[in-house]
Chain A
Amino acid sequence: MIDFVNYLISGALIGLLYSLIAMGFVVIYRASKVFNFAQGELVVFGGFVVWWLVVHLGLPLYVGLPLAFVCAAAFGLLIERVFFSRLVGESVFAMVMVTIGLLILIRGVVLVLFGPQVRPFPIIFPLEPIMIGDIFIPRSLLYGGVLTVITGLSLSWFFNRTRPGLKMTAVAEDHQVALSLGISVRSSIAFAWILGTVLSTLGAVIYLSGKSLNFLASDIGLTALPVALLAGLESIAGLLIAGIIVGVVQGLAVAYLDPLVGGAVGSILPFVIMLGILFIRPTGMFGWKTIERV
């Protein structure tokens, strides 16, 4: 029984981590209507920037971390300036294909800049877990979960209640309509990418704290896709619920199903969930239902 509670708690916390990674994805979608396939690479890039500043250059954490977030934001702005500012007015199809190009490009850039070696990631949250009786809670994931909930709720408030957030929502609805209403699509996309890279870096900090890092860590970006879909691509607060659902289901599957079929169920399950959502309810739990016309 105590095992079950432990699986439940760690599943939910890992789920919240997925929500945070997916949040970077949804923020970019919510403010620019672009499906960002390069989400995992943004996480890896953020992780490597933190490694470079804190471990390689040896800056103290309270200097290195804020600086890493600044670097990530600059990187987001750079992506927008180089690629997306030239594509305003082109089809969304082209923009999404560019993110596929970015997936490869950022991986290459990371390999050139930081190399393929496995690097130690700095310990940002204390390693020893919190024990309540027999219940075992990993500290980094707990703090990360709390941060995720706070970030999720405040971003949700920002996008649904404030004027700049609603402007970006209009951009996600339709680029041309937004332009004709006097909303700058470019600045909206720029903001989306800055926010996306910063959130990805935050995700990397929580995900990798005290672990090791190389370019293969980007897999988490694809694992976060099902969470975004389950929530519905437009809903940020919904991510928190969807993340917990996916995390708990995955955690229980790893604990109870893997021994039966010989492994790897946990890694494939999010994609099975994703296929299920796509077939049953493509708009997810809280997504927008759009009406189309010619």
Chain B
Amino acid sequence: MDPAGVFATTYQRDQALIRTRAQAIGLLLFIALMLLLPQLVGSRLMAMVSVMLITAVVVVGLQINTGHAGQVNLGQAAFMGVGAYTSGALALKFGLPFWVTIPLGGVSAAVFGFVFGLSAVRIKGFYLALTTIAAQFLFHFMILNLPSSWMGGSNGLSIEPATFFGHRMADDVSIYYLCLAVASIMIFGAYGITRSRHGRAFVAVRDDDVASGMMGIDVVRTKATAFLVGAFYAGIGGGLWTYYVRFVAVDQFTLLHSIWFIAMIIVGGMGSVTGALIGVVVIKLAQEGITTLGPTVVEKIPFLSGDVVFAAMNVFLGGIIAAFLIFEPRGLMHRWNIVKRSYRLWPFPY
């Protein structure tokens, strides 16, 4: 809800993403902060933020697919992998520049995802989730069994850094700006999609697919489109990932990664692009915390071994998914909205 005194007098105003002056100032400050970040923080933190931006692109796609359109997708990492391998192979074999290979990676992932989305013609609900698990396994099988001159097989693909008008993007800072630029475009696009006709169709299909079919929405096409869009985002994220790590291997895109992505939208809040971003930041920070603090804690307590850190990560992830579903199924975004509502209404209860 809007603060007191803000009333939309036109439809344009009612649809606007930025609703108050405070929000506009906040957004500008945030953009300035992101642009200046390389001057402010060290390279370790920079790398972390870059990974967050890449993950954000992938997870926003999953949010559109799962959060908005309600199609459970356990294969987002596979879709990301398709994009990563496509961009990597195109850059390696044909020497194409990154502004061609990353979008092409997105397109190839979108086609791959669309094929699995098409199964919505026959099936729905969790059966559809099963086809995405199958996608995960098929992706691994394909990469490992295609001739290794194509996709590198089990050795993976190593690629050259991206070049932009002669500038080699090999350092953390330039790759950060690449990630920031792409992520901003994709996230802005996601806000556009979710408030468009298609976004409303997604939500209608999520809430009740039979009823929305009665209302004239082409349910199958909507579900397939949701997969197309979600996988496209995953592919773009995968392309960025290729240029970020400059080494693509099949074990970077496993079912476990897909589950991490799901955990991010559950924690952030289903059905909200901002929620997806919050989920990415919270989960990535927690992951980072466990991996950096874990070894020191293990040293302090002698009877623990180093394997405990990996195990603790699993316990943490599983626990957080379950805890959010039980105690706050609508995620942190919903909690934040409650807080916002209460301070905007203060001192009145409603």
Contact = CB atoms under 8 A, between A and B. Distances in A.
Interface string A76-113: 00000001001100100110111011111111110110
Given A94-B325, A108-B315, A115 B307 contact: yes
A282 interface: yes
A264 B145 contact: yes
B211 interface: yes
Chain A contact-residue range equals 35 or more
A261 B141 CA distance: 12
A86 B131 contact: no
B318 A103 contact: yes
A100 B145 contact: no
B298 interface: no
Contacts of B126: 35, 96
B326 interface: yes
A93 B67 CA distance: 12
Nearest to B128: A278
Looking at B129, B141, B214, B316, the one whose CB has the most chain A CB atoms below 10 A away is B141
B322 A105 contact: yes
B313 interface: yes
Interface stretch (A55-63, A131-139, A267-275): A267-275
A21 B70 CA distance: 29
Contacts of B262: 97, 100
A222 B133 contact: yes
Interface string A23-44: 0000000000001000000000
Interface string A274-294: 110011101000000000111
Interface in B63-91: 70, 72, 74
Contact of B127 (A104, A278, A292): A278
A107 B141 CA distance: 24
A116 interface: yes
Given A229-B130, A271-B134, A278 B122 contact: yes
29 contacts: A83-B322, A93-B70, A94-B329, A96-B126, A97-B321, A97-B325, A98-B321, A100-B74, A101-B319, A101-B320, A101-B322, A104-B321, A105-B319, A107-B314, A111-B311, A116-B307, A225-B133, A229-B127, A262-B145, A271-B133, A272-B138, A274-B130, A275-B134, A279-B119, A279-B122, A282-B122, A282-B123, A292-B210, A293-B210
Interface of A: 35, 83, 86-87, 90, 93-94, 96-98, 100-109, 111-112, 115-116, 222, 225, 229, 261-264, 267-268, 271-272, 274-275, 278-280, 282, 292-294
